[in-house]
Amino acid sequence: MIHECPGVAICGLGTFRVRPVTFRLVTAKTYAIRTFGCQMNEHDSERIAGLLEADGLVPALDPDAADVVVLNTCCIRENADNKLYGTLGHLKTAKEQRPGLEIIVSGCLAQNDREELQRRAGHVDVILGTHNVHRAVELLHQSRETGPVLEIWDEALEEAESFPSALAVRREIDYSAWVSIQIGCDNTCTYCIVPAVRGRELSRPFGELVSEVQRLAADGVHEITLLGQNVNSYGRDLTLARREAVDAGSEDALIAGSQWAADDSRRIRPLFADLLTAVSAVEGIERVRFTSPHPKDLRPETIIAMAENDAVCNHLHLPLQSGSDSILTAMHRGYTAERYLEKLAAARAGIEDLAVSTDIIVGFPGESEDDFERTLAVAAEAEFDLAYTFIFSPRDGTVAATYADRFVDPDVVSARFKQLHTVTERSALAKHRARIGRVEEVVVEGVSRRNDQMLSSRTRQNKLLHFASATALRPGTRASVLVTDAGAHYLAGELVEVLAAPRHRTRIPVSAG
């Protein structure tokens, strides 16, 4: 889910999110965070912001003038390292002009490229990895005493701080929150660097998660997104923890979650479906989303939980990656195209009005014309509402990066990419047009980025719906909107009625120092 953020500023260093601050008494130290990559990184950035604010810093109105700049990096995207070093070059000049400027580099690229980063960017004050986000402020203080600090943990420790959701938070959006249910990944997809930089799968205790969602709801949050690299395998490691516990009352046993372990009639460990059901039942939570589920681990119980719990949104992101069985095997995905389509059909049969999005990689090493034709055929049959399509690019440290002898000619890949785009755009447009004339329940996200006369909102199917309103509606407002027009990536409509105002309080930060 990508939210439009009203507080976006463009500066020489790139795009920063800036929280709107309406009133300020005395200048305190300021910070700006630039986030690269996925929601997991966005969520880590919220935690780093929370820690910095707990230390007395306030968000910078002008990122160019911030006292502390955090670059939260990602190594999934192509050229991520070049972009980072380019940004660090700008910051080096800025630091020469303002010696008080402090720079923190965190995230996947820092985890993966630690020595290179240290060698090429001696002006960075703190380098920290994916497992010690909670140490950001301590390390910043340490660097003031000792000079530049590098601290990377090779794995997460089983302690609350390892989970970003367990830290202080500065949420970007008041009515909506990310909840990290799991870190790391135990799969071995050959193109993916995540297991190397995020480590083994570690599930957060069930009871803790439910308690966090209850706290969020009490704070006025009505929409949550459960985050994990493979949410469908949530709890798998909790089974081990429970079995390995010598004493059922020990702390190890309770890692499965006090609310879970307390009832002996229950399964040995909670499933993702149980978590969906439990968080959906929290009073005040109206929308539950999650990302990302692995198709091989999509269980019937999850489909039932999505169907039976009204709060769970009618949207499933189910990454296909390829429609060719031989490429799926080379990718280590653990399913065939036929099995994927069966799971998709089961989900659509079980969940009313389900929208499905996907990820597809074009040009994986060894992809033949026949392999690609199969991908086109599966994509056409699946009729996705939305497809994120990517051209394969090798990531250092992954198995697929060693398949150089099988890399596909870039011109061939480019032509295939266009063909796939045509197929996925066609189905997206058809899916959107089919909604014209329907009344959708939406949550307002804010003023449209492209047209300030329009509001942007999200439907339960995670579709962007723009509409005009004679009165200003706060982000988080629920409304019903008649769909009157559609494109491949949006819907447009007319306000029917406002259903409910948001419950959260609008915070006006005031700093003193």
Site for ligand SF4 in 339-378 (CB under 6 A): none
- Taking CB under 6 A as the rule, does residue 294 contact ligand SF4? yes
Q: Which stretch binds ligand SF4 (CB under 6 A): 17-25, 31-39, 191-199, 282-290?
A: 191-199
- Taking CB under 6 A as the rule, does residue 185 contact ligand SF4? yes
- Residue found under tokens 């007319």: 494
- Taking CB under 6 A as the rule, does residue 189 contact ligand SF4? yes
Site for ligand SF4 in 232-261 (CB under 6 A): none
Two tokens at 322? 């390829």
Closest CA to 489 of 428, 443, 436: 428
Q: Specify the residue, 196 or 304, whose C-beta has the smaller distance to ligand SF4.
A: 196
Residues 6+ apart with CB under 8 A from 155: 131, 199, 200
Amino acid letter for position 420: L
194, 261, 271, 355: which one contacts ligand SF4 (CB under 6 A)?
194
Cα 349 to its chain centre, rounded Å, is 27
**Eight-state DSSP code of residue 130:** S
Two tokens at 83? 């972009």
Q: Can you name the residues that pair with 500 across neighbouring β-strands?
A: 478
Residues in the chain: 513
Q: Specify the residue, 199 or 207, whose C-beta has the smaller distance to ligand SF4.
A: 199
- Taking CB under 6 A as the rule, does residue 229 contact ligand SF4? yes
* Residue count, binding to ligand SF4 (CB under 6 A): 9
Q: Specify the residue, 13 or 194, whose C-beta has the smaller distance to ligand SF4.
A: 194
Q: Specify the residue, 162 or 427, whose C-beta has the smaller distance to ligand SF4.
A: 162
Q: Specify the residue, 108 or 442, whose C-beta has the smaller distance to ligand SF4.
A: 108
Q: Specify the residue, 372 or 390, whose C-beta has the smaller distance to ligand SF4.
A: 390
Q: Specify the residue, 52 or 194, whose C-beta has the smaller distance to ligand SF4.
A: 194
Residue 512: CB atoms within 10 Å: 10
Sign of CA dihedral 406, 409, 413, 416: negative
Q: Can you name the residues that pair with 149 across neighbouring β-strands?
A: 126
- Contact assessment for residue 416 and residue 423, using Cβ atoms and an 8 Å cutoff: no
- Residue found under tokens 């079980």: 350
- Contact assessment for residue 126 and residue 136, using Cβ atoms and an 8 Å cutoff: yes
- Taking CB under 6 A as the rule, does residue 76 contact ligand SF4? no
- Taking CB under 6 A as the rule, does residue 187 contact ligand SF4? yes
50, 59, 195, 446: which one contacts ligand SF4 (CB under 6 A)?
195
Q: Which residues bind ligand SF4 (CB under 6 A)?
A: 185, 187, 189, 192, 194-195, 229-230, 294
